[in-house]
Structure 1
Amino acid sequence: MLSSYPVVLIATRIRTEERMLLEAFRRRAVPCVHVDDRSLVYRVGGPPPKWRAVLNRAISATRRLEVSRLYEALGISVFNSLATMTCCSSKIAGSLALHHAGLPAPATAIALDAAAGGAAVAEVGFPAVLKPVVGSWGRGLAKVNDTDAAEAVIGLRDQMPSPVQKLVYAQEFVRGRDIRVLVVGGRAVAAIERAGEHWVRNTARGGQPRACVLDPGLTELAERAAEAVGGGILGVDLLETDQGDRFVIEVNGGVEFHGLAAAHPGIPVADVMIDYVLGGTS
């Protein structure tokens, strides 16, 4: 019986979120084991492990993508799916999916080489934000206010060793409230506003989470954005201007949620995720 096999929590480290998930599985008496993604080895053609499902929380975007690829290919239910992880692992793929779904987003331009980076920035105008195509936690973001600053940042990235780091992803700078909505299985669960003095307000960079009301408009935007990238357990990041306009910035496939859970103590966030995982493997 599939239900007798353990759910496997693949995670690089046991952070607050992983502890919450493991405890929620324990309370339900659902077998769950932790496996460090750095320890995984699979011989192609070998038998699949006897796992009920994989909850993929690898920190590395590269390994996270390959975890979903590998175990989905073996016929195991993986959360999130390979399609979702592929879309969320690249800001280019994510932006294209959001645009295809007709979702509002800041003006965005992409250049495939640093030599064309200036033209990409010109497409969105100043001030602009230059972002790494692959990355999280607000790392590597640069707000540029003029051509000289843009050239300096692009020139620096052109010296990076990886071809991915040389790609230019330029986005219009939008000033507004920084909102994160957790969407699980197509349903918006809760939202927070991330407050801070700096324009980058990720909680990993010191942003302070506080509860945000999930009104119907915010709920619709977040759920549509989650659907656009393939669905699953997702963090949808939005900005809301003083005029009330809302823009979807990106969708995170490896969502951290300790700040959101702390801001909403009445919502059993980990249990909502586990309900979704178990519902997809019953």
Structure 2
Amino acid sequence: MAKVFMFYSRLRTEERLLIEAARQRQIHFEPVVVSDRMWPNEIGGKGDVALCRCIGHVQNHALALTVEARGLITINPSNVMEICGNKISTSTRLSTAGIPQPDYAIAFSLEGALECAQKMGYPVVLKPPVGSWGRLLAKVNDRDALEAITEHKLHLGSQHSAIYIQKYIDKKGFDIRATIIGGIPVSAIRRCSDHWITNTARGGTAQSYPLSDELKKLLKQVHEAIGGMMLAVDLFETDSGWLVNEVNGQPEFRSSQGDITGVDVAGQIVDMAWSATCKEGEGVV
């Protein structure tokens, strides 16, 4: 009989919620700690589904590639992880689809970074192409600061050799995190903070936020552009309309769950994963 596996590196709140949701539904669900195994191995096979819940993008992507080769359906698929795991890939995909986002540019030198900032106008935000939780973000207000930060980045190794620069958006103390499961927007929260970084992992507080028809339409466009079965989309609400800031393919969701939104996100993820076991031989795109 088909089974849902949950591969994880650390048992966070989200993974505990998924285990409990599966227990309540009495489905065939097996949590597996990735550090206890070598990969590839004999776990699972064609028709099974894998929830890839490692903390790091590199581990998740490597894991998905490995188990997909054995015929498992991964959530999300490795190609979607690759898009969401790199901000350059995400931004270019959104740009191709005509989805509104903050102005962005890529530089490979100090001179290029200075040119980007001059065209955008200060302040700008420097982000590592690969990363989460708002780590290593820098709001840059002037040329002197940009020169200093760029010089540091260019000496930190290949991971920082492509400099992702985004126009700073005054989001008035909050942004929106929306969750899409199975292509359907299911919840949204408003993340508030006195700091310009509003991630809940960095101390932002979460409030429920209504899913308007306009927002749902935009989120469905994002899903069509990115693909996948589970996405979390970070957006800015501006006077001129919505801007998509980032798209997450392996999101934490505890702030979008339960008391805050009234939505059982974990239960919907488990239901979606279990229904995918019926698609033996089919890929998930």
Instruction: Identify the TM-score tier after normalising by the shorter chain.
Output: over 0.9
In the alignment, is the contact (CA less than 8 A) between 2:27 and 2:274 conserved in 1?
no
Deviation at residue 47 of structure 1 after TM alignment:
5.3
1:184-238 deviations in Å (ceiling 9; x for gaps)? 1110000000001001000000000000010011111122112211222110000
Q: Which residue of 1 aligns with 2:35?
A: 38
User: What is the letter of the counterpart of residue 24 of structure 2?
Assistant: R
User: What is the letter of the counterpart of residue 170 of structure 2?
Assistant: R
Distance, in Å, in 2 between the alignment partners of 1:8 and 1:48 is 9
1:158-197 deviations in Å (ceiling 9; x for gaps)? 121x302222100001112400000011100000000010
Distance, in Å, in 1 between the alignment partners of 2:214 and 2:233 is 14
Q: Which residue of 2 aligns with 1:254?
A: 250
1:222 has 2:219 as partner? yes
Greater RCO (CA < 8 Å, at least 6 residues apart): 2
Distance, in Å, in 2 between the alignment partners of 1:23 and 1:245 is 39
Distance, in Å, in 2 between the alignment partners of 1:141 and 1:281 is 39
Distance, in Å, in 1 between the alignment partners of 2:16 and 2:6 is 11
Distance, in Å, in 2 between the alignment partners of 1:232 and 1:8 is 16
Across the aligned residues of Structure 1 and Structure 2, the Cα RMSD in angstroms comes to 1.6
In the alignment, is the contact (CA less than 8 A) between 1:210 and 1:263 conserved in 2?
no
Question: Share of identical aligned residues, percent?
Answer: 36
Q: Which residue of 1 aligns with 2:55?
A: 59
1:157 has 2:157 as partner? no
1:110 has 2:100 as partner? no
Under a length normalisation based on structure 1, what TM-score does the superposition of the two structures give? 0.92
Deviates more, 1:31-40 or 1:179-188: 31-40
User: Where do 5+ consecutive residues of structure 1 fail to align?
Assistant: none
In the alignment, is the contact (CA less than 8 A) between 1:9 and 1:54 conserved in 2?
yes
User: What is the letter of the counterpart of residue 65 of structure 1?
Assistant: H
Distance, in Å, in 2 between the alignment partners of 1:33 and 1:281 is 14
Deviation at residue 123 of structure 1 after TM alignment:
3.3
Superposition pairs of residues 80-159 of structure 1, within 5 angstroms: 80-159=76-155
Deviation at residue 271 of structure 1 after TM alignment:
1.1
User: What is the letter of the counterpart of residue 253 of structure 2?
Assistant: F
Deviation at residue 254 of structure 1 after TM alignment:
1.2
Distance, in Å, in 2 between the alignment partners of 1:37 and 1:114 is 40
Distance, in Å, in 2 between the alignment partners of 1:212 and 1:27 is 28
1:193 has 2:190 as partner? yes
In the alignment, is the contact (CA less than 8 A) between 2:193 and 2:203 conserved in 1?
yes
1:210-269 deviations in Å (ceiling 9; x for gaps)? 00010011111122112211222110000012x252100110011111011145452211
User: What is the letter of the counterpart of residue 49 of structure 1?
Assistant: G
Deviation at residue 120 of structure 1 after TM alignment:
2.6
User: What is the letter of the counterpart of residue 22 of structure 1?
Assistant: I
User: Where do 5+ consecutive residues of structure 2 fail to align?
Assistant: 279-285
User: What is the letter of the counterpart of residue 40 of structure 1?
Assistant: R
Distance, in Å, in 2 between the alignment partners of 1:148 and 1:139 is 22
Distance, in Å, in 1 between the alignment partners of 2:117 and 2:70 is 43
Number of residue equivalences: 275
Q: Which residue of 2 aligns with 1:272?
A: 268
Q: Which residue of 2 aligns with 1:236?
A: 233
Deviation at residue 38 of structure 1 after TM alignment:
2.5
Change (3 A) 1:125 1:39: farther
Distance, in Å, in 2 between the alignment partners of 1:132 and 1:47 is 35
Q: Which residue of 2 aligns with 1:169?
A: 164
Q: Which residue of 1 aligns with 2:283?
A: none
User: What is the letter of the counterpart of residue 81 of structure 2?
Assistant: M
Under a length normalisation based on structure 2, what TM-score does the superposition of the two structures give? 0.92
Deviates more, 1:190-199 or 1:213-222: 213-222
